Amino acid sequence: MGKKKQKLVLPPELPPEVPDEDIEVSDEDLQFFNENLEYAGFVSNLDTHSITKHVTRVADAKEGDLESLYEKRLRKRLENKEKEPTAVEVDPVDALPVKTLDGQLYYRRVAKEPKEAEPVSGDPALVKLTKAEKRAKLKKLRKEAKKQAKEEVQQTPQAEVLDEVKKDLTAEEATEMKKYKLAELGTALLADPESNIKNIKEMLEISKDGNSAIVILGLKSLLAVFKDIIPGYRIRLPTEKEQEMKVSKAVKKMRFYESTLLSAYKAYVQKLVSLQHQAVYKRVAVRCLCTLLAAVPHFNFRDSLLAAVVKNITSQDDVVRKLCGTAVKSLFMDEGKHGGEATVEAVKMIAELVKAHNCQLHPDSVEVFLSLSFDEDLGKSRSSDMDNRTKNKNSKKRKGGDEPNDMPNNQGKKIRKEMISKTREEVSADFKAASLAQDPQEQRRLQSQTLSAVFQTYFRILKHAVLPISETSSVPGASRGHPLLASCLNGIGKFSHLIDLDFMADLMHCLRKLAGRDSKLGDSSENYSCLTVSERLRCCIVAFKVMRNNLDALNVDLQEFFVQLYNLILEFRPGRDQGEVLAEALKIMLCDDRQHDMQRAAAFIKRLSTFSLCFGSAESMAALVTVKHLLLKNVNCRNLLDNDAGGGSVAGAIAKYQPHAVDPNRSGALASVLWELNVLLKHYHPAVSSIASGISTMNMNNSQVYHSHVSPQQAYMELSQENMSFAPPTDIKTANNKRQKGMDKLPVKVGSDLNLKVQFDENEVRKKLAEHFFLLRDIQENERLRSELDRTTLSLNLYERYKKRKKRKTR
């Protein structure tokens, strides 16, 4: 059987042949070709052989020959396909097909990889591979595994990154949408709260989001909304009977608005209280709580707000503590918003907090009591006016009863007057009910409760300070320090005129005991905790304030407090203790309109003038002002200014001067002389030297009257503020005598330049001295660290020896 003849595919018909002679080229074509030779250059590079290879159009060739030529080519291709059965078509993505002139597409082919021959089980030579073949095979496998791993690594991160980017984009879009939603809901609520009250629940739901930025924004938005829409009264929800009653649409709408507002406000407050325990939202939550307490203290759920704010008033975070302290102070000062009830609740909560922590709190927790204000004469004027009115009415009635029977016209006038008085009483009662003014009796009752809670807290702090360490150590949470004592003493000094006289004796006993509390004096044997000099001075100040405010009712000997002040002047250190406290003690105890004993006044004059040499300029100024006050009031003490042997011309026997005496009455200061004033005349500060010269020129025979209107406190404050920008004058003449001898003939401008140069040199000296002292401090620190290192190395060596000995014993 012969092979089947395949159907031949004829090529398309060629265009009709036109001889070259018949082709006419126009002048325009030639001109265009000549002008664009660069575009026609490819014609000269055409491969005519490859063109004629596919289509042979030979001159004088017959059509039969052409057909046989095409047939031969086709047969060759078919034979090649049969001979190459292993060829595989290439994917068009990797290599494009070839389109011939006859319009057919021919896809490229690649020979298949020959399959490895399967090893024959019977022949061991074919099964085993050589070492080189094994190495090559292993290398190929490793390369393929590395390629696959790289492809997988490249593909998975890209997919993960794309997923993360998509998630971030969607999260950002969601947060932006929530922000816009919060803004829309809040704006609608502020525009019409009654109609859009349902939006507040949606805002609460948005604020429960997991994103912290959305939560913070939601809390702030709700705070602004609640501040604006909360009414000026407490909301009382209707009872069951009231709900069963038929009411109008307006009442129903108002009830729905109030109930929705109250439930949303409750949820908001609870959310703030829960979020204050999280570090991310603590400050925001506390700020919202404080703002609500200060803005709407009359509204519902005030107890929750107060409890949260008072609890955070002792926080270790300074921002949170200041926010809570400011909120409580504003609550105390603006009692018109809540009528004083919130003040009583806050003071009682602070008292319970101090009791629970055993007086170991931050001073700001008790410092807020200083913002309280009490009206001690409240209601007296009003009660007197009411008594006068009642007396006038009774007198009028009596006069009317004594008169004879009135005429009918008079009876009509009486009836009209009674009706007018009744209507006035009704109007006044309605006005009181509608106005914010509180009843004086109720206000006095609330203030008495507040004052009792405040003094209960103060007395608890004093009792804790007086107790010895052996008793306070048994109490959990107690320590040797007294952080609330300074605030307590300030408060007692401010409200001392309101203390009940029954507690005065105990109060003065506590203050006397605390003023003498020192580790070197008095109570060291009883194991008491010592106080600082400033705290002991405050105890003396408070005792004098209490005595002055209750002068008519008290008969207390304050000699012991003078003794304490006399000894505390020796212990005072300007850098360690508070100078303003010392200045206040000098003013209250020595300068405020009090005639002192001559021995006591002389002792304080001598001690203050002596130790003004050791104090700073501000403390020295306060001490010298006090000395001047004492010399003006006690004329006999001016004998200290005389330089005679024996200390002056005082009649009678004079005790010997004892500078180390504890009691000022037994110091014998009248037998001394104020030689310190001559030293203070050369003080570097001009104010101190001027007041020292003014005191030294004062004597017995001086008829000039000296008036001192400046108190020690004022002198201390003025000089302490001035010292911040004060530069002591320098004596250029003594420092540069040799230079000035040669500069006498120079003009004035040169002298000014010299002053500038000397000032510049002084600044350099100061810098060098500062560097020197810093270096000395570093050397001391290095020595200390070196000694600690030696101790640690010694202890380590001893421990190593101990371990070696222990090992030997075990062996």
Segment 743-780, tens digit of pLDDT: 444 343 333 333 434 344 666 777 777 777 777 778 87
pLDDT, tens only, 237-257:
888 888 888 888 888 889 999
Over residues 316-320, mean pLDDT:
91
Q: What is the structure's pLDDT at 368?
A: 92
Q: Which residues of 207-241 are buried (b: 16+ CB within 10 A; e: fewer)?
A: beeeeeebbbbbbbbbbebbeebbeeeeeeeeeee
The mean pLDDT of 466-492, rounded to a whole number, is: 70
CA–CA distance, 9 with 102 (Å, rounded to integer): 9
At residue 290, does pLDDT exceed 90? yes
pLDDT at 267: 93
Place of tokens 């590395």: 146
Residues 351 and 340: their CA atoms lie apart, in Å, by: 17
Give the closest residue to 659 by CA, choosing from 566, 540, 534.
Answer: 566
Q: Rounded to the nearest 10 degrees, how much is the dihedral formed by the CA atoms of 23, 28, 32, 33?
A: 30
Q: Cβ(624)–Cβ(692) under 8 Å?
A: yes
Residue 324 has pLDDT above 90, yes or no: yes
355-369: per-residue pLDDT in tens? 998 888 899 999 999
- Which residue pairs from 137-146 have beta carbons closer than 8 angstroms and sit at least 24 positions apart in sequence? none
* Choice among 187-196, 261-270, 751-760 with the minimum mean pLDDT: 751-760
Nearest to 572 by CA among 523, 524, 537, 525: 537
User: What H or E segment, with its residue span, contains residue 53?
Assistant: helix 48-54
- Coil, helix or strand at residue 612: coil
Q: Radius of gyration over alpha carbons of the chain, in Å?
A: 53
DSSP state of 297: T
CA distance linking residue 324 with residue 338, whole number of Å: 18
C-alpha–C-alpha distance, residues 512 and 359, integer Å: 21
Over residues 781-804, the pLDDT tens digits come to 888 888 888 888 888 888 888 888
Mean pLDDT computed over 556-567: 85
Q: Among candidates 523, 555, 553, 558, which has minimal Cα distance to 539?
A: 558
Q: Are 716 and 583 in contact (CB under 8 A)?
A: yes
How far is 56 from 511, CA to CA, in rounded Å?
Answer: 132
pLDDT digits (tens, 9 = 90+) for 12-68: 676 677 776 677 777 888 888 788 777 776 666 666 666 665 555 555 556 667 677
Q: CA–CA separation, 58 vs 40, rounded Å?
A: 26
Three-class DSSP labels, 418-476 = HHHHHHHHHHHHHHHHHCCCCCHHHHHHHHHHHHHHHHHHHHHHHHHHHCCHHHHCCCC
Residue 171 DSSP code:
H
Determine how many CB atoms are found less than 10 A away from the CB of residue 372.
20
User: pLDDT (tens digit, 9 = 90+) per residue, 497-524?
Assistant: 888 777 888 888 888 888 886 544 444 4
Q: Which of 319, 589, 365 is nearest to 491 (CA)?
A: 365
What is the number of other CB atoms lying within 10 angstroms of the CB of residue 67?
A: 13
Distance CA 418, CA 206 (A): 63
Confidence of residue 608 (pLDDT cuts 50, 70, 90): very high
- Report the Cα–Cα distance between both ends of the chain, in Å, rounded: 109
Kindly state the DSSP code that residue 110 receives in the 8-state scheme: E
Residue 244: the pLDDT is 85
Rounded distance between C-alpha atoms, residue 15 and residue 17, angstroms: 6
